[in-house]
Amino acid sequence: MKYIIGIGGVTNGGKTTLTNRLIKALPNCCVVHQDDFYKPQDQIEVGEDGFKQWDALESLDMDAMVSTVQAWIEEPRKFARSHGVNVRPNSKEPVPEEIHILVIEGFLLYNYKPLTDLFNKRYYLTVPYDECKRRRSTRHYPIPDPPGLFDGHVWPMYLKYRKEMETHEVDAVYLDGLKSRDDLCHQVFEEIQNMLFNCS
């Protein structure tokens, strides 16, 4: 049995923190980070807003990302081994039904249909503008944010893609990124456990 869980949402909403907790708690769990699929810096366009379009879908190699997910779907055990995940049976039955879980984490998971269609469960973290801006300003990125990037590019792109997602009626569970890390992890873990239990 194979399950793909999406942890999407706004920048600095708590996606990576939640993902890291889930992959420790769930059986035979691998992870794919969308940030690993950015195109090279020299291929990132400068948009009409005057900023490099890091927060646009076009800045990501989504075909490569979908290919990576397909590789997991085809051979989850092999994928797990190549990513250092120890696969273990889930029960003491003579022929245990092996469960494999892939958590995909990123800020634009639900705006590219070939990827969106692969999820069994989609989560979407949100935080209000003020908190998002505060968190973003305290983070250190390999390429520092130029002045005005958040208001001029990051937040408008977030609103654009969220609206697009809602227009396409993407079925996602919205999570309040202001909740404690423990509460968020507990909520998502319980829901995934129930899903696994009901499908087994």
User: How does residue 95 score in pLDDT terms, banded at 50, 70 and 90?
Assistant: very low
Max Cα-Cα span within the chain: 61
In the predicted structure, residue 143 carries a pLDDT above the cut 80? no
Residue found by looking up tokens 């708690």 in the block: 25
Angle between the N-to-C axes of helices 15-25 and 181-199, in degrees from 0 to 180, rounded to the nearest 10? 50
176 given a catalytic annotation: no
In the predicted structure, residue 142 carries a pLDDT above the cut 80? no
In the chain, what percentage of residues exceed pLDDT 70? 94
Written as six digits, the tokens of 171 are 């079925």
Side chain identity at residue 77, one-letter code:
R
Q: Give 98-122 pLDDT, tens digit per residue.
A: 889 999 999 999 999 999 999 999 9
**Strand ranges in the chain using DSSP code E only, listed in sequence order:** 2-9, 29-33, 100-105, 121-126, 173-176
Mean of the pLDDT values across residues 17-42?
Answer: 94
| Burial environment of residue 98 by CB neighbours within 10 A (0 to 12, 13 to 18, 19 or more) | middle
**Which of the following is catalytic: 35, 63, 151, 171?**
35
